[in-house]
Amino acid sequence: MGACRIQYVLLLSLLGFCPCSDTLNCQDGSLMKFGQNFSKTSIEWIVDRTIALESNKGKMCQETFLLIDVGEKSLILGTKGITTVPGKIKKTDVFSPGPGIVSASYVHFCDTELCNNARSTSVLLNNMKLSEYNEPGTTKCPVCLDFKGSCGRKSNHTLCPKDTKCYATSLGVNGGGLSVSFGIFGCLNSSYTYLLNNRNTIGAIRIKETLESHVTLSSHVLVPSILLTWMFGLLALCLQRSVLC
Ligand SMILES: *[C@@H]1O[C@H](CO)[C@@H](O)[C@H](O)[C@H]1NC(C)=O
Ligand SMILES: *[C@@H]1O[C@H](CO)[C@@H](O)[C@H](O)[C@H]1NC(C)=O
Ligand SMILES: *[C@@H]1O[C@H](CO)[C@@H](O)[C@H](O)[C@H]1NC(C)=O
């Protein structure tokens, strides 16, 4: 009986299944999806592909979600696979809970068989508390969420909530099977400079947030005052004329 078991183990090892090795399988894939209301409604993400870690020394399974919602449009990025970053974690970060743009991430690093097994963004949404502040403001800002270069003058403008300002950035995303840049315009809490807290990594994703100049931003805010100046100038001219006449 004992000998039989040893032979069985030997056979399995010969076949490449060594029950004593520390092989670890992780789900593997990446996701990029534009849509609406991703900060309110979860979306499903089922991954069938797996990747095996030969020796899991210093390696773990990872899953990372990054959510950005500018109001009229939202974006979810996801990646699953292997990480070499040490330390098990399971964490939701809400960088901006609104009002205006919402940004948040979910990062899970774990070391058991197929443990990076979230099937939807509910792992993020369930731990995310959004702002309920909703005072209307007076500043109008362009709103856009698209690939870099696609947000331009044609962007829609929205009346931002009170205590928010116009924000525009290009966000470069690399790693975890993703390599892409986005343009993000919208309203952001006036006391924030960055949408993602000036971070350079989120889980397995490297990010680079490059703020865009305010020139294009303030142009629309300035329009009424320019118009006003122009109207006053015209009025002055008319008055002058009527005095002259
Ligand atoms: C998103 O939410 C808004 C307001 O709740 C709703 O009008 C709109 O239809 C929703 N969009 C989708 C695609 O569900
Ligand atoms: C601008 O707003 C209109 C109406 O709300 C919408 O149909 C359109 O898709 C928006 N454009 C962009 C670029 O989001
Ligand atoms: C903006 O952020 C600050 C600091 O986190 C917070 O105290 C404030 O309430 C936020 N403003 C709004 C309008 O949510």
Per-residue pLDDT tens over the stretch 99-121: 999 999 999 999 999 999 999 99
- Written as one string, the DSSP assignment of 159-208 is EEETTEEEEEEEEEEEETTEEEEEEEEEEEETT-S-SSTT-SEETTEEEE
The model's pLDDT over 134-190, given as tens digits with 9 standing for 90+, comes to: 899 999 999 999 999 999 777 899 999 999 999 999 999 999 999 999 999 999 999
Q: Give the residue, out of 93, 139, 160, 163, with the most ligand 3 atoms within 8 A of its beta carbon, to mutate for a pocket test.
A: 163
Cα dist from 62 to 26, 52, 90, 95, 220, whole Å: 8, 13, 10, 20, 43
Tokens of 84: 């070499």
CA of 35, closest atom in ligand 1: 13
Token pair recorded at residue 47: 């991954």
- pTM for the model: 0.81
Q: Among 37, 40, 130, which is best to mutate for testing ligand 1, by the most ligand atoms less than 8 A from CB? A: 37
Give the residue, by CA position, lying nearest to ligand 3 atom 6. Answer: 191
| Ligand 3 atom index nearest CA of 161 | 13
